[in-house]
C-alpha cells in the first residue's frame, strides 16, 4: 500500500513522493527512509552512521535527525496531517518507505494492505481511501 507525501527538507528542497506504508518496518520515532539519489535531490548530506536491521540482514545507513517535514496528502491533494521527521538514507533502497511510528503519527489507519485501502484518523465513518499508484520501475 502506498500514500502520497509532500516532503520539505531542511535544505528547502520540496518533493512530492509516493511512499510504501510498511507496518513491518519498526522505528522508535517517525522516520522516512529514502535512497541516496533522493537524499541528494533533497540536499540531505551528512548525518550519523547507524546500523539498521531488515528482515534479512543488518546494514549501515545514515540518520539525519529532524531533517524534513512531511505532509500526508489525500486524493485531491488536500493536506491530512503534517509531521517533522528524521530521515534515514538507506543505500540500495528500491522505494521510499515510512515506518510504523510514522504511520501512526500521520493518522494512517490501514483497512486492507492487500487491497490498498486506508483511512485517515480524521475521516468520517465509512470513508475509505485507495492506495496511491507507485511509480513505474525504471
pLDDT single digits (tens) 11-39:
999 999 999 999 888 899 999 999 999 99
For residue 12, the 8-state DSSP code is S
Dist CA 35 CA 106 (whole Å): 21
Contact 48, 62 (CB under 8 A): yes
Does 24 map to a domain?
yes
Q: Which residue has the cell 540531505?
A: 44
Residue 136 located in a structural domain:
no
Tally of CA atoms within 13 A in the half-sphere of 20 that contains its CB? 13
- CATH label of the domain that carries residue 106: 2.40.70.10
Which pLDDT score, from 0 to 100, does residue 39 have? Answer: 97
Please tell me the predicted confidence (pLDDT) of residue 136: 66
Q: Is 132 contained in some domain?
A: no
Tell whether 134 is covered by a domain: no
For the chain, the domain total comes to 1
How far, in Å, CA of 21 to CA of 114, rounded? Answer: 12
Give domain status of residue 137, yes or no: no
Decide if 91 is inside a domain.
yes
Q: Is residue 135 part of a domain?
A: no
Domain extent, residue 30, equals 2-127
What local confidence, expressed as pLDDT, does residue 96 receive? 96
- pLDDT at residue 43 greater than cutoff 70: yes
Query: Residue 46 and residue 72: Cα distance in Å, rounded?
Result: 26
Amino acid at each position: 500500500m502506498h500514500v502520497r507525501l509532500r516532503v520539505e527538507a531542511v535544505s528547502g528542497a520540496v518533493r512530492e513522493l509516493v511512499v510504501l506504508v510498511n507496518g513491518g518496518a519498526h522505528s522508535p520515532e517517525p522516520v522516512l527512509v529514502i535512497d541516496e539519489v533522493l537524499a541528494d535531490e533533497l540536499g540531505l548530506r551528512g548525518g550519523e552512521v547507524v546500523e539498521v536491521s531488515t528482515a534479512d540482514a543488518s546494514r549501515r545507513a545514515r540518520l539525519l535527525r529532524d531533517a524534513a517535514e512531511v505532509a500526508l496528502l489525500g486524493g485531491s491533494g488536500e493536506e491530512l496531517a503534517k509531521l517533522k521527521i528524521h530521515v534515514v538514507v538507506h543505500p540500495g533502497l528500491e522505494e521510499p518507505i515510512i515506518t510504523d511510528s510514522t504511520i501512526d503519527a500521520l493518522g494512517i489507519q490501514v483497512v486492507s494492505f492487500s487491497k490498498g485501502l486506508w483511512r485517515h484518523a480524521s475521516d468520517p465513518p465509512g470513508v475509505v481511501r485507495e492506495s496511491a499508484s507507485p511509480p513505474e520501475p525504471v
